Amino acid sequence: MSDGFIWRDAEVTYPDWNGTAQLDEKMTGKTPEHVVGLDPDEWSVIGFDIGGGETRHELHVIAVHREDMLDGGDVYPRIAEANGGEIPATEFLVHDVDPYEFLRAITHMFELRMRVRGTRDFPIRIVRQSDIPEQE
């Protein structure tokens, strides 16, 4: 791959829903590198995505090789500065790890919020809360 490509935000053909997600990584247990089978002495996972269609979802991890890492401090701005404003990385398609097991393994706290397209520009006020099925 000569010039590569810029890793982008999530995108689907017909975006009926859009939203945000945030994850607080678990500080105990396996690192993302361990979960997918990368050597953490050689690679640092800096991103992941889960995507697919109706029958299957795939896990991709984005990682920086240690030879591209710089020592000390906040390394990512320095890596980008040394590479024309971009961070050179490798995208791995992970074959033997269920995407949602990966998410569960690395998560301390996780929140995904999606909203239907027509509500995008309006605040949503929750005025009632309930359970399905209803609880006593």
The pLDDT tens digits for 87-129 are: 999 999 999 999 999 999 999 999 999 999 999 899 999 999 9
**For residue 131, is it within any domain?**
no
Structurally, the chain folds into a number of domains equal to: 1
Parent domain of 61:
26-107
Q: Is residue 121 part of a domain?
A: no
* Domain-embedded: residue 52: yes
Q: Is residue 58 part of a domain?
A: yes
Model pLDDT, residue 1: 62
Inside any domain, residue 1: no
**Model confidence over 55-90: pLDDT tens digits?**
999 999 999 998 888 777 788 998 999 899 999 999
CA pair distance 68, 76, nearest whole angstrom: 10
In a domain, 39, yes or no: yes
* CA separation for the pair 71, 75 (Å, rounded): 7
109 Cβ contact partners less than 8 Å away, ≥ 6 residues apart: 23, 24
Does residue 47 lie in a domain region?
Answer: yes
pLDDT tier, 3 (very low <50, low <70, confident <90, very high otherwise)? confident
